[in-house]
């Protein structure tokens, strides 16, 4: 699986690009605006256009921030959920048949290291894909131990470990999908265009 990070994922771009665009549109609209105000022509029409554009900008800003906040909260909840799932899996690993305890615990420690390495590289598609492959390899090895332990000791304790491991794997997939659920580029574009037009008409 590969990420598809957009330009707007960079905090500096998200701040500087709208600022530059809006300042440019404000400057573009400044001199024609002076002529309109001096001539005292179409002021009423211009005021109506300004009100309509700024009235549209407010709900768009509210919608975008609500969308961003909801997705941020979801990602934060999934971080906690994944940490709890890994911790539960690690604790239940000590109840497996002795031949599997140490290898599973070592694999889980390596898995945590991989997950910590994962998100700093999310904006680099190649590194992201490499980390995903490493995580998948560890998951496959953990599942191999779970399968073997279930055959050796088909008990409720082993089943509890398998359940915890399944939740760990599922939560990882949920985090990846939540990380991809960014605000659509079309929403950013529309917001930027409306804000730029607002600057153009209020100059």
Model pLDDT, residue 5: 43
Model pLDDT, residue 4: 40
Which of these, 30, 24, 146, 39, lies nearest to 96 by C-alpha position?
Answer: 146
Residues whose CB is less than 8 angstroms from the CB of residue 196 and which lie 6 or more positions away in sequence, other chains included: 21, 22, 24, 25
Q: Is the pTM of this model over 0.95?
A: no
Model pLDDT, residue 200: 72
Please say whether the beta carbons of 200 and 28 come within 8 A.
yes
Give me the residue spans of the domains in the chain. 12-202
Residues whose CB is less than 8 angstroms from the CB of residue 91 and which lie 6 or more positions away in sequence, other chains included: none
Judged by DSSP in three states, 123 sits in: coil
Model pLDDT, residue 169: 92
Q: Chunked in runs of 10, what are the mean pLDDT values of the chain (203 residues)?
A: 46 69 70 57 61 77 83 88 93 92 93 82 74 89 93 90 93 84 78 78 66
Structure tokens at 73: 């909260």
């Amino acid at each position: 699986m590969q990420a598809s990070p957009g330009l707007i994922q960079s905090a500096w771009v998200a701040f500087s690009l709208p600022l530059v665009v809006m300042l440019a549109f404000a400057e573009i609209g400044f001199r024609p605006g002076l002529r309109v105000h001096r001539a005292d022509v179409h002021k009423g029409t211009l005021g109506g256009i300004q009100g309509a554009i700024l009235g549209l900008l407010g709900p768009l800003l509210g919608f975008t921030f609500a969308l961003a906040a909801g997705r941020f909260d979801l990602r934060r909840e999934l971080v906690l959920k994944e940490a709890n799932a890994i911790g539960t899996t690690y604790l239940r690993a000590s109840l497996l048949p002795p031949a599997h305890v140490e290898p599973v615990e070592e694999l889980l420690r390596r898995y945590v290291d991989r997950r910590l390495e994962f998100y700093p590289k999310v904006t680099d598609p190649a590194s992201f894909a490499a980390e995903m492959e490493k995580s998948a390899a560890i998951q496959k090895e953990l599942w191999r131990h779970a399968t073997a332990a279930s055959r050796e000791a088909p008990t409720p304790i082993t089943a509890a470990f398998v359940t915890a491991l399944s939740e760990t794997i599922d939560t990882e997939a949920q985090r990846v999908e939540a990380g991809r659920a960014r605000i659509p580029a079309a929403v950013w574009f529309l917001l930027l265009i409306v804000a730029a037009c607002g600057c153009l008409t209020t100059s």
